[in-house]
Amino acid sequence: MKPPHNYSSDAPIYDAALDKFNRFPFSQRVANVIAKRNDSSSIVIGIYGAWGDGKTSVLNFIEGELQTEENVVCLKFNPWRFGDEDQMLINFFNDLATAIDRSIETGKERIGSLIEKYGKPLASVLGNEGVAEGVKSFFSGADIEELRERIERLLEEEKKRVVILIDDIDRLEKNEIHAVFRLVKLTADFKYTAYVLAFDKYVVSSALQERYGDNTIGTGNSFLEKIIQVPLELPSIESEDLRNFCFNEIDQVLNFSNIVLTEEDVRQFFSNFSKGLEVHLKTPRQAKLYSNILMFSLPMLKSEANVVDLMLIEGIRVLLPEFYALIRDNRSLFLKDSTSSYGTDQKEKSRRKERIESALNEFTQEEMEQIIDLLCFLFPRLNSVFGNNYYGGSSELIWSEKQRICSPQYFQRYFTYAISTKDVSDLAINELLIFSEDHSEEEIVNKIKAILSDKNAETFISKLRRLSKNFTLLQSRNLAISIAKIGSNFPNPVQFIRSMNTFGQGAMFTGDCIENLKSKEEQFKLAKDVIFNADTLYFATACFTWFRRDTEEHPNPRGFSGEEYAKLAGILAKRITFELSNIDHIDVEKIQNFPHVLSIWNEYGKSQEATNIITRKIRTDKNFVFELLNSYTPTAFGEFGSRKSSFRRDNYDAIQKVLDPTIIVDTINEVYDDLVIDERYPEFLDVPRNEELARQFLWIHNKFSDEEVNKEEMDSSKK
C-alpha cells in the first residue's frame, strides 16, 4: 500500500545529512569561530535572512556543533514563551543560571542559588520602576555587581563560554522586539558570553526605527549597528538547488495524487515556470508553501481542470500574490477577445494592456516581459493585446475540451476549488459516458436525473454536445434516447432564438448522436426511436427539427435524404394524431410552438386529418380560435421583457395552409357580433387581447380576400 503523504512541512532541520542548501558549512564556520575564541569579551553576532530562508536550521546546526565543545554552554532562549516583558527578563536569567549550573562540576557554587539570593532585589526593582530602568538599576547595584563578577569568575575558572541563541525575533510584536534588544544591550557586556541572533534585518530595523528613530531614514539600521558586532548575511541559496528542491516537492505531490504528466505537459510546465516564475522563487519556505497548495488543489480538481494550468496559476498565487488577485477578480481582463464586428478594438486593447502592465510595474522590464509571456500561455486571448495573434470560435471549443483556465466554463474552478451549482463535474460526465455503455435506458435516465438540475442543465447539455463527436455507437444510441425521455426536464424559457436555450440544445444533441451512427439504417432507426420515446410531443417535434437533411443547397452526407426525412415526418405525424385526435386534449399553451406541430401534422399526416380535427375543436370551443391565433403570433422582446406581438400577414398565410380562414371569421363573428372592420390596420389598441386578435385577423382577411378576388377577375379577363 502506498504510504500516506502529509502536507510538506517547512520545519527546520537538525541533521546535516538533510541539508539541501549548503547551510551546514556556513553554520560550522560560525560555531568554530565562537568555540575557538580566546578573547574573554562578549560578542553579538547577527544572522540576517528573509523569512523562510533557513535561519532556524542554521541556528540548529550551530547549536549542534557547539554541543560537542566541552568549554561551551548553549542556551537557546525563546522569547515567544512569555506573556510580557517582566516575565521574559526574569526567565532569561533563570534559564541562563540553569544552563550554567548543568555544566559545572559537583560541589561548585551554583549560579541558581546566587540568582535566588538576589531575586528579591530584582523583583523589587522590576515592580517599582520601568522594566528597562529596573534591569539597569539591578546590574548597577553593589550586590548585583558582585553577582556579575562571581558568574564571570566561575566561567573563567571552568573555562566555559556561554552562547545564547535567539531566533524568530522578526516574528515578535514590535514592543517585544524592543524588549529583546534592550535585554541584549543591557547584558551583552558579560564576559565569556556570545549572542547569536537570527532575524530579518528589514523587519527588525523597521520596528526599531519606529521606537528609537526620529523619522530619519536608516535610524533603525544605526541602532542595530551599535548592538550587532558581527553582522552575517545568510549565504544565498544556489538557484539550481532551490529549483531542484521545488521540483522534487512537486514530483512528490504528483505521485501522491496519482497524476501522470505527458511529455508535452512536462515541457509546457517547466518551460513556463522556469521562464515566468522561477526568478521569483527566493526561499525554501516558498517552495514548501507551493507544494502544500498543490497538495490541496491537485487532488480536489483532478480530472476537473487542466493540470499544467492549475500548477502554473498556483505558482502565481504563491510567488506573485498581488497579481494572482488581479487575475481572480478580473476574468474579462484575461478572457475577453480584443476584436469586435468592426475589427480590432484598439481602445479596448490599449486599456487592457495598460492595466496589466501597471500591475507589473514593480518588476524589471525583463521580468515583466517574462510574466507577460506566461500570461499569454495561460490566457491566449492576451496575444491580441500584446501582439497581433487572434483566435476564432473553434479555439474556445479546444480550450474547453482541455479544461483550460482560459475557457469561460472553467475559469472559476481554478479559484474556488469546487464545482459551482451552475457547473457539472467533468468526472460525473465521464462516469455517465462509461455507465451508458452497459446499462439500460431506464438506469441511464436515473443517472442523468441524479446529475441534472435547473441550474446546471445548460452546462450539462453543452458538455455532452461538445463530447458527442467522440461517442461510441452504444453511447450515441443510449444517450440520445435517454435525453429524449427527459426532454421536458430541460428549461425552456421564451427567448429570441428559442433553439439556443437548454431545451433546444437538448433536441440538437439527439441529432448529434444520430449523425455518429455508421449506416443510414441505424440512423433512421435511432431517429424513429427518439420520436417515439420523447417524453412530450413538443420535444419530439423539436428533435425532429434538428435531424440533419442532405440537400443540394446544404449537402450533408451524414444527413437524411428527402425521402428519409419525409418518412420520419410521417412517423412524427402519427404520434401527433395519436395525442391530438381527442379534441379535448388539445392544449395550445401546453404544446409549445403549436404552429410547427400543426404544420408537420398537416403536411405529413393523413389528408385533411389536421384540418378536420382543428375545425371540430373550434366549433366545440369558440375560445380555442383565439388561443390558435395567439400561438401564431411571434414573441417580441424589449426593455421590459417579452410579450406577444400583433397578428400579421405571414401568420395568416401559415394558418390558411391548414384551415379555411372563413371558419375563423365565422367564429369571431359569433363571439363579437357587432365587430366593425377597421379602415386601417388595428394596432396598439386599448382592448382585451382576444378582441385585438379578432380585429387584426378580420382586417387582414378582408384585405387579403379583396386582393384575391381582384386577382382572379384579372386572370379571367386575360383568358
> Rounded to whole angstroms, what are the CA distances from 560 to 519, 556, 580?
11, 8, 27
Indicate whether 490 and 508 sit together in one domain. yes
Indicate whether 589 and 630 sit together in one domain. no
SS3 state of residue 641: strand
SS3 state of residue 160: coil
Assigned domain for 634 exists: yes
Separation CA 461–CA 652 (nearest Å): 36
Last residue of a domain, one of 187, 214, 233: 233
Indicate whether 320 and 356 sit together in one domain. yes
Number of neighbours of residue 215 by Cβ within 10 angstroms:
7
C-beta contacts of 32-35 below 8 A and 24+ residues apart: 32/65, 34/62, 34/66, 34/72, 34/161, 34/163, 34/194, 34/196, 35/65, 35/66, 35/69, 35/71, 35/72, 35/161
Separation CA 607–CA 599 (nearest Å): 12
H-state helical runs in 633-688: 649-656, 661-671
Instruction: Assess contact for 533 and 481: CB atoms under 8 A.
Output: yes
Assigned domain for 522 exists: yes
Indicate whether 547 and 578 sit together in one domain. yes
Nearest CA to 12 among 230, 283, 252, 281?
283
CATH number at residue 47: 3.40.50.300
Indicate whether 225 and 245 sit together in one domain. no
Arithmetic mean of pLDDT over the chain? 84
Structure confidence at residue 314 (pLDDT): 96
Q: Which domain holds residue 686?
A: 622-719
Separation CA 602–CA 44 (nearest Å): 101
SS3 state of residue 620: helix
Structure confidence at residue 283 (pLDDT): 87
The pLDDT tens digits for 211-224 are 765 555 577 788 88
Assigned domain for 407 exists: yes
Q: Helices 321-329 & 307-319, crossing angle to 10 degrees? A: 120
123-137, 166-180, 278-292, 529-543: segment of lowest average pLDDT? 123-137
Separation CA 353–CA 384 (nearest Å): 10
Indicate whether 632 and 601 sit together in one domain. no
Structure confidence at residue 285 (pLDDT): 86
Indicate whether 581 and 638 sit together in one domain. no
Indicate whether 73 and 30 sit together in one domain. yes
Q: Which three cell numbers stand for residue 350?
A: 490599449
Indicate whether 439 and 568 sit together in one domain. yes
Question: Taking the mean position of all CA atoms in its chain, how far away is CA 420?
Answer: 10
Average pLDDT over residues 685-696: 92
Residues 6+ away with beta carbon under 8 Å from 142: none
Separation CA 660–CA 705 (nearest Å): 12
Instruction: Assess contact for 284 and 58: CB atoms under 8 A.
Output: no
Assigned domain for 7 exists: no
Assigned domain for 4 exists: no
Res 70 pLDDT > 50: yes
Last residue of a domain, one of 208, 233, 258: 233
Instruction: Return phi, psi of residue 263, to 5°.
Output: -60, -40
Indicate whether 142 and 214 sit together in one domain. yes
The pLDDT tens digits for 523-559 are 999 999 999 999 999 999 999 988 877 677 777 777 8
Assigned domain for 31 exists: yes
Q: If you write DSSP's letter for every residue of 264-291 in order, what string do you get?
A: HHHHHHHHHHHHHTGGG---HHHHHHHH
SS3 state of residue 680: coil
> End-to-end distance of the chain based on CA atoms, in angstroms?
98
Average pLDDT over residues 96-111: 68
| Percent of the chain as helix, strand, coil, to the nearest 5 | 65, 5, 30
Last residue of a domain, one of 617, 641, 666: 617
Structure confidence at residue 493 (pLDDT): 65
Q: If you write DSSP's letter for every residue of 343-396 in order, what string do you get?
A: EE-HHHHHHHHHHHHHHTTTS-HHHHHHHHHHHHHH-GGGHHHHSS----HHHH
Average pLDDT over residues 271-287: 91
Average pLDDT over residues 76-99: 73
Assigned domain for 9 exists: no
Assigned domain for 266 exists: yes
The pLDDT tens digits for 546-594 are 887 767 777 777 788 889 999 999 999 999 999 998 888 888 877 778 9
Structure confidence at residue 69 (pLDDT): 86
Indicate whether 690 and 660 sit together in one domain. yes
Structure confidence at residue 548 (pLDDT): 78
Structure confidence at residue 120 (pLDDT): 46
Indicate whether 253 and 267 sit together in one domain. yes
The pLDDT tens digits for 3-48 are 445 555 556 777 777 778 778 888 889 998 888 888 888 889 999 9
Average pLDDT over residues 332-351: 76
Number of domains making up the chain: 4
> Residues for the chain: how many in total?
719
Average pLDDT over residues 281-286: 88
